[in-house]
Amino acid sequence: MDIPVRRWRDLSNEQKTSILQRSEININSVMDPVHDIIRRIQDNGDAALKELSLELDKVDLDLHPFRVGEQEFDQARENLADEVKDALLFCIENVRSYHEAQLSRSMEMMEIRPGVFAGERATPIDSAALYVPRGRGSFPSMLYMLGVPATVAGVPRIAVLTPPNRDGSIDPACLYTAEICGIEEIYRFGGAHGVAAMALGTESVKPVAKVIGPGSMYVAAAKRLLSDTVDVGLPAGPSESAVLADAKADPYLLAIDLLTEAEHGADSSAVLVCTDETVAGRAAEHLAAEIEKLPQPRKDFVSSVFSGYGAVIYADSIEEAAEIVNLYAPEHLQVQCHEPFDVLPLIRNAGEIILGDNTPFSAANYAVGANAVLPTGGRARTYSPVSVRDFMKYSSVIYATKAGNALLAEHVAVLAEYEGFPAHKNAVQKRR
């Protein structure tokens, strides 16, 4: 296929907008059926969950308990290849090291004024359900990217929901990963009905405070409709990446790195922004050649990406290139420049920033330790990666002595009277 190289300043506003767009799941078309699914779970609980699992997943949950049993964990541990176990242990250890450093400590009480003290207390949320999708493969990496920060935060109850295979079984690598993370509550259902069950509860499933993790458009719709009932975490849609490069970058590495996130699906996005037209052109040539070498369905996925939500563009300066990236606000960003740390201050919006040409996206996705569940669709402008903080909450802690209250009272009374709240004024003044 031919992948054009375009100069940013020569593009029209409409063309620029097109490049900056992501596919982002359009969930409007499924809102009505998902609303019906939620209503059925709400009205009929376990019975509806079984009916919907049979209808949508083709799995008869009359033949399998909702929750995975101890024997299934044993079988997964015995049957999983040692090399897969070793890889999972290696990656989980790295992810745990990174997230343990994120663990928030309670803010010590500080004396704001004489006799007036304030601080902050950090505590884990009561419960969380981690959604691990199965639509395009098995994703134990998704489980540990969610499970490790949840366990490090100290969440007392952590559940996993994931769609089963047609025979009702759960991916063995996911079961092994859950066991290593210390998670025992695994459910063999997913989709909108699974999210509804975890949010609303059924006779057999206790509801949770938070449901987090990416999924299909049905899962996204269910989370939106249930967002007043349960915390649904950051929005995570189709995979996307951007590579920022200069004249010193290796065009071949640029090409193979662009393929990484693009192979997730035809709805993915991938953009190269380069300050050198020649490097950009050679990267586009390598990219076209490497696409032809991919097996199906990945070849079709990547071809679709670079026919729609993919682009190779060049900018007139590193400052312009960085600003394009900031407008794009990618989920994954790789900086393949001669001095990547000098470019870093120019970047404001990106879910993750990978510096240099020695760390492909895939290494960060699996093994570096930083979390790979990241905001998509330009939401990196305001959202952050999943972290320990997603599983914690913070309470202000306040204390005042009698003298401290007297110091506050005069000013509080003035403002309370100005805003028209006599009870506020009395509460501080009548303590004197």
Residues that are catalytic: 331-332
Owner of token pair 């740390």: 341
Q: Which residues lie below 8 Å from residue 301, measured CB to CB, with a gap of 6+?
A: 262, 263, 264, 265, 266, 268
Query: What CA–CA distance (Å, rounded) separates 176 from 366?
Result: 16
Q: How many helices (H) and strands (E) does the chain have?
A: 16, 13
Find, among 214, 175, 212, the residue nearest to 72 by Cα. 175
Which of 148, 124, 132 has the alpha carbon at shortest distance from 186? 132
Task: Name the token pair of 371.
Answer: 């979390």
- Reduce the DSSP state of residue 383 to 3 states and report it: coil
**Spatial CA neighbour of 163 closest among 196, 186, 180:** 186
Closest by CA to 175, choosing from 142, 140, 135, 132, is 140
Contacts of 342 (CB under 8 A, 6+ apart): none
Q: What is the sign of the dihedral through the CA atoms of 177, 179, 182 and 188? A: positive
Q: DSSP class of residue 95?
A: H
Residue 284 phi, psi dihedral angles, 5° rounding: -65, -40
Q: Please state whether 2 falls in left (phi above 0), alpha (psi between -120 and 50) or beta.
A: beta
- Of 157, 173, 177, 153, whose CA–CA distance to 165 is shortest? 173
Q: Which amino acid is at 254?
A: L
CA max distance for the chain: 81
Alpha helices in 103-190 (DSSP H): 140-153, 172-181
- What whole-number distance in Å separates Cα of residue 132 and Cα of residue 103? 23
Q: How far apart are CA 251 and CA 320, in angstroms?
A: 20
In this structure, what token pair is assigned to residue 294? 């991919």
The continuous run of DSSP H or E covering 100 comes out as: helix 82-102
